[in-house]
Structure 1
Amino acid sequence: MKIVWIDSKSNQNIITDFVQDVTWSGSVNQATRQLSISVLYSPIDKNIKDLGIKMGDRLLFYDEGYLLIDAMVYRRGKQSEQGTITYDAYDELKRFVKSNCSYNFNNTTPEMIVKTLCNALKVKVGNIAETKVPIKKLLVESEGFYTVIMKAYTKAYKASGKKYMPIMIGKKLSIIEKGEMVDSFYLSDKVNITTSNYEESIENMINVVKIYDEKGKQVGVVKNDKNINMYGIFQDAYVKEEGVNATTAAKNMLIGVSKEASIEAIGNIKCISGYAVKIKYSLTGLTGKFWIDTDSHTWSNGVHTMSLNLAFKNIMDTQEE
């Protein structure tokens, strides 16, 4: 583990020895990833140096030789009882979440929209998932940059069924296909899982989607008869869009029994939100492929642990017009 502090004069300072605890976390719906560190502090002990990390300074966090996050400090707070200062820093996706814009996009693609938005915020472009899905028109009036990206890629999702999410790699924005498997790794109660929880819910169920044209006339329907017979009708509606297969889009709106699980385990830096992981847990029956919705990794006293919230279905953060 290594933490580098870059101050306002671009000086690089390795501060690993001053840091007590580190938490690196993210969520599929949160977009931006966060780094929180606690640094030793004592106004009466001259042997404990006040680093003087300020708002806008950057923190780079490395583990196993990889740069996990390049983040800007947004918040700090002193805890006198514990003798520490905590710093909260976020990657550059925070700019996309906090900034609003207005655009009238015509005859373009999701990937071109992303490049336009990155240019506006002076954020470098990484690997952008290529969809080649045509967007005839997307009107944006004072909406978040992140929301606009997800609106564009929601159109691509409706057309192809592929799911996408943005992620920062260093200071470059990439758009990846959501649900990629964590390579050569699995979680097991016999190897690395310490605790787990599991629950089921039908609160978000949709088992009937009626399809309408632009004049409000119903032109189709998709449904899940098994869930209708068991739970009754939970209905939604879909209005046809140019360039999108209406039946495919409607089917993607169907939601069955939601299953969620949470685990705590020995940490692995590859287990982050948006990726999938294999699990073998004999005590709860959690066996198979699961998708990471939220993750929180903690380094304390030289030990790396992680808490993961898992989904049984790969669901994209869709944004409708």
Structure 2
Amino acid sequence: MFKLILVKNDGQKSYDVTALCAAISWDDNLSLMSAMQFEIAFSDAKLIPTNPCDLGDAAILYDNEVEVYRGIIVTEGRSGRDTIKYTVYDYAWYLGKSKSVYQFNKITASQAITRILNDFGMLIGHVPQMLTPINDIFLEKSPAEIIEDIYKREERRTGKRFNVEMRSGRIYFEDMKDLVIKGTFRLADNQKLQDVMDNPLAAERTRSIESMRNVVKILVERKENKKKKKDQPDPKPPTDQTDPKSQKSQTSYDIVAITKDEPLIRKYGLLEEVYKIDAEDAAKAREVARILLKRLARIQETNSIKLIGDSSFKAGRLLDIDEPITGMSGRFMIVTAKHTVTNQIHIMDLELALPEDVK
């Protein structure tokens, strides 16, 4: 049984608006923020409960007393006497709506992320230890963009994948490999739980080698300053016609690591990718190349599946699928999850990819 609770902006009153809801849907993808939409029945007839919803109010969705979603109403749409449509964003919305500047001096990625979250009043559920050094200035970027930049660096350095999401008003960073789920549903209170994969409602599968790469080269940038020879007169001062680029040091690149997948080269032809890393990371070039090749040297799959709903299914979760009609088989990552509840009937549409295909 789904229940939608509205908490007024001042925190003084709350309302159960479930009976007024014509439909509820929520969706998320591999980003900090997720959204929920709900519709409130409109009527100007007497004795009909007044709609208490307004911009800035908090909306909390429960599934059998388990909190599914919490966020702030940011838009309201009205059209005549049609249902009133509301859009709700979770609290990570605030991280994407601001612009800021940060300078970090050789602190760890986890310390940098924690500082940003604290500055913007975000409650932290979990930030794991991330040891990638951050020594940068971030200008005119949103806190969400800065945080994503930082934890993506940790992913590239370690080969880990992080899922970031809001739960019960707190933000969590978690290792994706630990987020394997198995969904269940119950058709009626007097029936036993069943696996959602026992009864898929629809499925689609697309396979492609378009994004495949079977050779990875790692480059390191080298800057060389030209030294003046002895007894050589000083050059003339630059004039307006002098190309300013000619006054800068020359830049060259060294290939420090190459990794190949020979069987895939023979089967599909040469498909090469080049990545540039900082000079201080050159010692790790082979490991970086190995990790990148593992992600890229494969057939990419894009799949979708419609199932009876389970609220635990979110973007970033992993699930095992064996769907005989399309041939979809193996462990997949949920890229986007859209849930819809109409008259307490819960359906979910999932976009899936192989975990290695998601950059």
TM-score for both structures, normalised by structure 2: 0.81
Larger radius of gyration: 2
Counterpart in 2 of 1:112? Answer: 111
Q: Give the superposition deviation at 1:205.
A: 2.4
Counterpart in 2 of 1:279? Answer: 321
Indicate how the Cα distance of structure 1 residues 221 and 75 shifts in structure 2: closer, same or farther if over 3 A, else same: same
More displaced stretch, 32-41 vs 221-230 = 221-230
Higher helix share: 2
| Residue-pair matches, total | 311
Q: Give the superposition deviation at 1:136.
A: 4.5
The 2-side partners of 1:96 and 1:181 are apart by: 28
For 2:273, what is the secondary structure of its paired residue? Answer: strand
For 1:217, what is the secondary structure of its paired residue? Answer: strand
Higher strand share: 1
Opposite residue 71 of structure 1, the aligned amino acid is: G
Counterpart in 2 of 1:263? Answer: 305
Please point out which of 188, 206, 214 is paired with 2:221: 214
Counterpart in 2 of 1:4? Answer: 5
For 2:355, what is the secondary structure of its paired residue? Answer: coil
Q: Which runs of 5+ in 1 are unaligned?
A: none
Opposite residue 202 of structure 1, the aligned amino acid is: I
The 1-side partners of 2:260 and 2:133 are apart by: 28
Q: Give the superposition deviation at 1:50.
A: 3.9
Counterpart in 2 of 1:307? Answer: 349
Deviations 1:147-198 (A, max 9, x none): 222222222212221111211111111111124101576543xx23111000
Opposite residue 208 of structure 1, the aligned amino acid is: V
The 2-side partners of 1:293 and 1:169 are apart by: 18
Please point out which of 186, 199, 205 is paired with 1:192: 199
Q: Give the superposition deviation at 1:138.
A: 2.7
TM-score for both structures, normalised by structure 1: 0.90
Counterpart in 2 of 1:84? Answer: 83
- Give the aligned CA root-mean-square deviation in angstroms: 2.0
Indicate how the Cα distance of structure 1 residues 213 and 274 shifts in structure 2: closer, same or farther if over 3 A, else same: same
Indicate how the Cα distance of structure 1 residues 315 and 143 shifts in structure 2: closer, same or farther if over 3 A, else same: farther
Opposite residue 237 of structure 1, the aligned amino acid is: V
- Conserved? CA contact 1:164–1:177, under 8 Å: yes
Q: Which runs of 5+ in 2 are unaligned?
A: 185-194, 223-252
For 2:116, what is the secondary structure of its paired residue? Answer: helix
The 1-side partners of 2:80 and 2:40 are apart by: 12
Question: Does 2:332 align with 1:290?
Answer: yes
Question: Does 2:74 align with 1:74?
Answer: yes
The 1-side partners of 2:123 and 2:357 are apart by: 27
The 2-side partners of 1:206 and 1:171 are apart by: 40
Question: Does 2:38 align with 1:31?
Answer: no
Q: Give the superposition deviation at 1:245.
A: 2.2
Indicate how the Cα distance of structure 1 residues 136 and 305 shifts in structure 2: closer, same or farther if over 3 A, else same: closer
- Conserved? CA contact 1:21–1:301, under 8 Å: yes
- Conserved? CA contact 2:183–2:313, under 8 Å: no
Opposite residue 173 of structure 2, the aligned amino acid is: I
Q: Give the superposition deviation at 1:224.
A: 2.4
Deviations 1:98-136 (A, max 9, x none): 2222212122112111111112211111111223x2315
Counterpart in 1 of 2:246? Answer: none
